[in-house]
């Protein structure tokens, strides 16, 4: 079978740095931190009291009030980003073959906002009223509902499901969507991820694992990947959506093309529930598989949007993996962690970082890794590598890859290339 080519023709996002993709990307290029004190709930008694929240967001601005009651925050983010991405693609839904358009999203946790609120209400009222729950409790909590709601809103009847592999979830979704299109099982896919876990259960749970930064005195500088004083990641929320489309279909309707998706890889660390393999064995394997699938050599890669969470073991192991896979070429690459600005969007991280990789190719600019002091070094990190510290860098970006690694040892890597005929 001759595999079809797959291109990106639309993007949409909701993040702590903006309610649209252009606003988010503008702040990413400028090195703006999205971190600040938590306002979603009273975090004054928590070890971590800050996060990268989506501010200025009200569901009622986008949905009927009755509909807001039926959707968890994560699903609202997903639908809003999908609306933007579909509009950006220029697709005419009146004439499109909706049987050939599907939706696959990656969601790691799902309706934690709803779950946390309902359980608190139940605990407070169970003695008086017994087990009383909202009829929307289950539909709002389950991780597949955002996919379903997007298909319902736009009438998309193609493949529709959710991938869940912790922080690799939305990269898995992109790879699945890519494979469906290139094997002829779909013409277009609405793909990405969404997450909204900045609630007491999310923050408290990650705190108990010692996974989050506790730099409460300076939230905006807390996410500092590859710096010696890093002390954990900063929790983020939001959604990123990409429209993936078969090339000839995109050309036939005159669609603009951001970049081409040319490969994807998957692997497992088979090591630990939450820690990455200290030598980066799973990361090495997933990057090699992605490059093989894309049919390119390591020397053709210009930029890596790394997983780069700002955790001690994770950052070190990813650096080791990059040096192993790319050899001497590792020193010619640009590397950056945009989590230093957006925070860690968990299941949505891969999608939003894929979007940044696509825009880096489109505009020939590499976004920075912020919050690094040249004196703040880790002896286990090789600073001869170009981490694009603190300031975006202009350079030709023909090929970019994006790494995402999830709890449970799940690894995913996607490869994008500048589109040419």
Residues with catalytic function: 167, 307, 344
Distances (CA, A) of 6 to 164, 205, 233: 23, 39, 33
Identify which of 172, 168, 416, 174 has the alpha carbon closest to the alpha carbon of residue 302. Answer: 416
- The DSSP call for residue 210 is T
d(CA 382, CA 320): 9
- The DSSP call for residue 367 is P
The number of residues in the chain equals: 421
Pairing of strands 160-163, 101-106: parallel
**Helix (H) or strand (E) run with residue 110 in it:** none
Burial profile 142-151: b = 16 or more Cβ within 10 angstroms, e = fewer:
bbbbbbbbbb
Q: Give the list of residues 6+ apart from residue 340 with CB closer than 8 angstroms, or none.
A: 33, 223, 224, 225, 308, 310, 368, 369, 370, 371
Question: DSSP H helical segments within 130-168, as ranges?
Answer: 137-141, 145-154
d(CA 400, CA 357): 6
């Amino acid at each position: 079978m001759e595999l079809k080519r797959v291109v990106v023709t639309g993007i949409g996002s909701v993040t702590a740095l903006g309610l649209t993709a252009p606003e988010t990307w503008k702040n990413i290029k400028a090195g703006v931190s999205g971190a600040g004190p938590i306002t979603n709930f009273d975090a004054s008694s928590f070890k971590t009291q800050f996060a990268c929240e989506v501010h200025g967001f009200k569901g009622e601005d986008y949905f009927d009030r009755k509909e807001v009651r039926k959707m968890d925050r994560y699903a609202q983010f997903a639908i809003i980003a999908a609306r933007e991405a579909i509009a950006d693609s220029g697709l005419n839904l009146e004439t499109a073959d909706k049987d050939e358009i599907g939706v696959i999203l990656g969601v790691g946790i799902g309706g934690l906002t709803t779950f946390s609120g309902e359980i608190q209400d139940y605990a407070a009222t169970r003695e008086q009223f017994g087990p009383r729950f909202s009829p929307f409790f289950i539909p709002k909590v389950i991780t597949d509902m955002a996919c379903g709601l997007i298909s319902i809103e736009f009438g998309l009847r193609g493949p529709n499901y959710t991938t869940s592999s912790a922080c690799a979830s939305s990269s898995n979704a992109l790879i699945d969507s890519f494979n469906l299109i290139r094997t002829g099982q779909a013409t277009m896919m609405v793909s990405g991820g969404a997450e909204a876990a900045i609630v007491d259960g999310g923050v408290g749970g990650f705190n108990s694992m010692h996974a989050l930064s506790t730099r409460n005195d300076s939230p905006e500088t807390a996410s500092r990947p590859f710096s010696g004083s890093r002390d954990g990641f900063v929790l983020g929320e939001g959604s990123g959506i990409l429209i993936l489309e078969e090339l000839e279909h995109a050309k036939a309707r005159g669609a603009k093309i951001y970049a081409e998706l040319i490969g994807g890889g998957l692997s497992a660390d088979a090591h630990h529930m939450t820690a990455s393999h200290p030598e980066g064995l799973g990361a090495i394997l997933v990057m090699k598989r992605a490059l093989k699938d894309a049919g390119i050599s390591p020397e053709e890669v210009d930029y890596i949007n790394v997983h780069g969470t700002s955790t001690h073991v994770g950052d070190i192991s990813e650096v080791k993996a990059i040096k192993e896979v790319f050899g001497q070429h590792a020193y010619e690459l640009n590397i950056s962690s945009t989590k230093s600005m957006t925070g860690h969007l968990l299941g949505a991280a891969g999608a939003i970082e894929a979007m940044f990789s696509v825009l880096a190719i489109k505009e020939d600019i590499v976004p920075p890794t912020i919050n690094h002091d040249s004196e703040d070094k880790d002896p286990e990190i090789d600073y001869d590598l170009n981490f694009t510290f603190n300031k975006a860098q202009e350079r030709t970006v023909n090929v970019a890859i994006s790494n995402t690694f999830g709890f449970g040892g799940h690894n995913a890597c996607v490869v994008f290339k500048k589109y040419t005929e």
